[in-house]
């Protein structure tokens, strides 16, 4: 009997070793804001469906129900830009593109998703999420089309921030950690997940003071996101060794839920 029990325990232990990596794997999402600058050039052909495709379709129908004046007022547009936006909203078959092909701008130039290896892209698909007022939350290979919409826009009783907040929170609350590299506008969506949330800020040391310079901060967020993907970072504490663009972790300014990085003014010319 004792020998049988020992054999059983050995078998059970060996099975636990096999499944242990899956049980103990730490899940961390890296959050970024979208960009207003968007491309319509297709590169990726193998695309995935967005998590909130149905909700985005409903949002599109609602936008199509608005007249031109309402769209202009809500989006603060006029002239040719308003005309092209209305045309985009009513386009019957908008071109499908991967999220990683659509977004451009400072942060996404630094992120360089297109130059990732297949292994790195697989990690990004699992861990990187871009928040969107139109699509909710996106992975690099998710199939989308160009749009113009942000969380500051609202019309009558439709508030996009309220529309998406609960859905995005429910999707993220299953993760162990959330590395928040989004702008403060988009960060509002996930503030309720404070216990899981780890925010990152990048400062410039200018004349003895610390200042956030928007264009540099955006570039740094993209650079850190890429570094996290390439190094398969799964815990916020692991970013403390990041030195991209000459930024350095500041333990004297950081806290449990926030990491602060800064760099001297002359470093801007060196990076």
Q: Where are the domains of the chain?
A: 37-104+135-172, 175-271
Flag whether pLDDT at 268 surpasses 90. no
Task: Please give the Cα distance from 123 to 223 (Å, whole number).
Answer: 16
Q: Percentage of the chain surpassing pLDDT 70? A: 88
Sequence length of the chain is: 271
What's phi and psi for 41, nearest 5 deg? Answer: -100, 125
Is the separation of the CB atoms in 203 and 260 below 8 Å?
A: yes
pLDDT band at 223 (very low <50, low <70, confident <90, very high): very high
pLDDT at 269: 57
Structure-token pair, residue 222:
């993209």
Q: What is the pTM of this model?
A: 0.86
Q: pLDDT digits over 77-103, tens only? A: 999 999 999 999 999 888 999 999 999
Query: For the residues 67-72, what does the mean pLDDT come to?
Result: 94
Q: pLDDT digits over 71-84, tens only? A: 999 999 999 999 99
Task: Please give the Cα distance from 188 to 144 (Å, whole number).
Answer: 23
Q: pLDDT digits over 172-198, tens only? A: 999 999 999 999 889 989 999 999 999
Smallest Cα–Cα separation from 133: which of 157, 160, 155? 160
Query: For 102, left (φ over 0), alpha (ψ -120 to 50), or beta?
Result: alpha
Instruction: Map 172-194 to HEC letters.
Output: HCCCCEEEECCCHHHHHHHHHHC
Query: For 156, left (φ over 0), alpha (ψ -120 to 50), or beta?
Result: left
């Amino acid at each position: 009997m004792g020998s049988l029990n020992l054999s059983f325990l050995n078998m059970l232990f060996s099975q636990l070793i096999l499944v242990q990596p899956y049980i103990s794997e730490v899940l961390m999402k890296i959050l970024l804001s979208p960009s207003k600058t968007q491309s319509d050039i297709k590169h990726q052909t193998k695309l995935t469906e967005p998590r909130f495709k149905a909700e985005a379709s409903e949002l599109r129908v609602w936008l199509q129900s608005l007249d031109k004046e309402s769209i202009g007022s809500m989006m603060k547009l006029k002239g040719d830009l308003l005309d092209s936006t209305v045309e985009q909203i009513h386009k019957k078959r908008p071109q499908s593109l991967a999220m990683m092909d659509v977004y451009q701008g400072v942060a996404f130039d630094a992120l360089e998703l297109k130059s990732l290896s297949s292994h790195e892209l697989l990690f990004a698909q699992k861990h990187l999420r871009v928040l969107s007022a139109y699509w909710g939350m996106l992975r690099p290979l998710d199939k989308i089309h160009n749009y113009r919409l942000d969380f500051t826009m609202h019309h009558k009783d439709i508030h996009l921030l309220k529309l998406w907040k609960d859905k995005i929170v429910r999707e993220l609350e299953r993760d162990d950690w959330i590395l928040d590299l989004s702008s403060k506008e988009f960060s509002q969506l996930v503030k309720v997940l404070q216990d899981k949330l780890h925010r990152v800020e990048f400062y410039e040391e200018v004349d003895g003071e610390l200042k956030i310079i928007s264009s540099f901060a955006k570039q740094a967020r993209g650079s850190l996101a890429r570094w996290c993907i390439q190094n398969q970072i799964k815990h916020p504490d692991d970013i403390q060794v990041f030195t991209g663009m000459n930024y350095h972790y500041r333990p004297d300014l950081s806290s449990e839920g926030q990491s602060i990085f800064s760099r001297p003014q002359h470093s801007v010319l060196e990076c």
